[in-house]
């Protein structure tokens, strides 16, 4: 399944990260296939990850990779329309 605009799925992953692991994880996540942008933010979440992929299956792969990382506490995924 692809997004009707541009044949891609764009999603934002909001992540809570263990204190002190933000910059280490930023560098790792930045290099994952499908990750377009990563920002450390302040507030309820610690990191916003923008993902661009072709299918929801690919999105699931990226989300699963991120969720399995040591230091990632929780994630919330927002799929753009």
pLDDT at 58 over 80: yes
DSSP letters, 10-61, are EEEEEEEE-TT-HHHHHHHHHTSTTEEEEEE--SS-SEEEEEEESSHHHHHH
pLDDT category, 4, cuts 50, 70, 90? very low
pLDDT tens readout for residues 8-41: 999 999 999 999 999 999 999 999 999 999 999 9
Q: In the chain, what are the domains? A: 9-79 (3.30.70.920)
Average pLDDT value over all residues in the chain: 93
pTM of the shown model = 0.90
């Amino acid at each position: 399944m692809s997004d009707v605009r541009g044949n891609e799925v764009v999603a934002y992953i909001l992540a809570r990260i263990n204190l002190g692991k933000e910059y280490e994880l930023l560098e790792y996540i930045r290099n994952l296939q499908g990750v377009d942008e990563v920002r450390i933010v302040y507030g309820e979440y610690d990191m916003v990850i923008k993902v661009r992929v072709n299918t929801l299956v690919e999105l699931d792969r990226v989300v699963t990779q991120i969720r399995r990382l040591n230091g990632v506490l929780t994630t919330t995924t927002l799929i753009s329309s």
